[in-house]
Amino acid sequence: MKQESMNRSCLCSILITTALICGAYFIGNAYLAKQFKEKLLKWEITDKMHNTTDQMHNITDKMQNATSHTCENLNKPMGTEALPQGIIAKTSNLETQHLWNYDNTKKRSSNRAMSLLAMAVGIKQKELVNKVIQKFPPRDFAVMLFHYDGVVDDWKQYPWNEHAIHVSVMNQTKWWFAKRFLHPDIVAEYEYIFLWDEDLGVGHFNPQRYLSIVKEEGLQISQPALDTTKSEVHHPITARRKNLKVHRRMYKNKGSGRCDEHSTDPPCIGWVEMMAPVFSRASWRCSWYMIQNDLIHAWGLDMQLGYCAQGDRKKNVGVVDAEYIVHYGLPTLGVVETASRSVRNETDPKSTDSVESREVDNRPEVRMKSFVEMKRFKERWKKAVRDDRCWVDPY
């Protein structure tokens, strides 16, 4: 009896212990499961946050790369990197501005195409220059005069004078002036640049009709033909052909330097003389860079202008016959007036010192320097071609 009581007591103890262990197990599992779920949730949130952060970094990197790429393509002029793009004024023009008026009704419309007439002038040729400028209406053309004799005030008699731009430097050529005052960014608003000498007759020339033909023919570099009955003609290609509107080549069957229909090089084709060239905006930008700063007569430049014709020089360079001029070939450069003081006649009490002026003709020296400059230009061209391994001669 006693033994049975002990067995039952032991069995109860075992059951209770088992129950407690099972209870502890299930309670522990429930607690651990809750903890695990909470940790798992935290891990998932953290992982999502990491993914989101990575995605944001990727988006930011892409935006930065895109911004960087865009900024690289802004092509800001050198020296303007510190400025915002919208404030940078890359170009200018020769249009004057009123000192105090805001609404100047005389100013041209911003949509109207303008061209530029630039001439090197001396007061002795003022009548010829006046006739030329009168052919170029101010609504379509700006006028810039380069005074090589220092005389500016004596031009005030002409109505157009106050609207012209005057630059005065003694004894300089038009190419010296052009290199310093006709930078492509300064004249970028002008469709065409007329860079003319002063000794020209324009009785049969109309600039509007001339430009109409130039555009129709696709000429980037051109000149009006010369009236052979009145002009000093140095190169046959510039001579007017009466039955043509435009010609691009010349024919020469005698002497040296023959030209025929198979010729492809200047001066047989793709060539204009330097006394009255007309440049398109694009061709002038190229030509200006080819003008050498120290070679002020620009001899030799004419043979290479075809490289600036924005394509095939055989098509884009030509002489306009329908609108022609006269080249008088007057001696101007190198003729300098000097003042000399005569001595008073001591035996005549009424006599006074007098100042006389006389002309000194330096034209032979000018011509000699022109030949020297042409030789130097040719040497520089050959050296540039030899040194630039990336440049390919299209001709």
Percent of the chain at pLDDT above 70? Answer: 73
Among 299, 126, 276, which residue's Cα sits nearest to residue 197?
A: 276
The C-alpha atoms of residue 5 and residue 210 are separated, in whole angstroms, by: 137
Among 64, 94, 50, which residue's Cα sits nearest to residue 190?
A: 94
Quick: pLDDT tens for 185-203.
999 999 999 999 999 999 9
Answer whether 200's CB lies under 8 Å from 231's CB: no
Between the alpha carbon of residue 36 and those of residues 22, 26, 33, 41, 350, the distances in Å are 20, 15, 5, 8, 130
CA 339 to chain centre: 43
The C-alpha atoms of residue 151 and residue 198 are separated, in whole angstroms, by: 15
**pLDDT for the residue 183:** 97
Q: Is the pLDDT of residue 280 over 80?
A: yes
Answer whether 315's CB lies under 8 Å from 248's CB: yes
Q: Is the pLDDT of residue 4 over 70?
A: no
**Cis ω on the peptide bond leading into residue 207 (within 30° of 0)?**
no
The C-alpha atoms of residue 382 and residue 374 are separated, in whole angstroms, by: 12
**pLDDT for the residue 167:** 97
Structure-block tokens of residue 243 = 């039955």
Question: What letter would DSSP give residue 193?
Answer: E
Kindly give the residue spans of alpha helices, DSSP state H, lying in 83-218: 126-134, 174-181, 207-217
**pLDDT for the residue 333:** 77
Confidence of residue 331 (pLDDT cuts 50, 70, 90): confident
**pLDDT for the residue 231:** 92
Q: Is the pLDDT of residue 277 over 70?
A: yes
Answer whether 120's CB lies under 8 Å from 177's CB: yes
**pLDDT for the residue 249:** 95
The C-alpha atoms of residue 8 and residue 366 are separated, in whole angstroms, by: 141
CB pairs under 8 A, 24+ apart, for 213-218?
213/245, 213/246, 213/320, 213/322, 213/323, 214/278, 214/280, 214/320, 217/245, 217/246, 217/318, 217/320, 218/315, 218/316
Quick: pLDDT tens for 12-45.
666 676 666 766 666 655 555 566 556 555 555 5
Quick: pLDDT tens for 51-95.
655 666 666 666 666 555 567 657 788 899 899 999 999 888 888
Mean residue pLDDT across the chain: 85
Confidence of residue 225 (pLDDT cuts 50, 70, 90): very high
Quick: pLDDT tens for 84-137.
999 999 888 888 888 898 865 555 555 678 999 999 999 999 999 999 999 999
Bigger pLDDT: 38 vs 385: 385
**pLDDT for the residue 59:** 63
pTM attached to this predicted model: 0.77
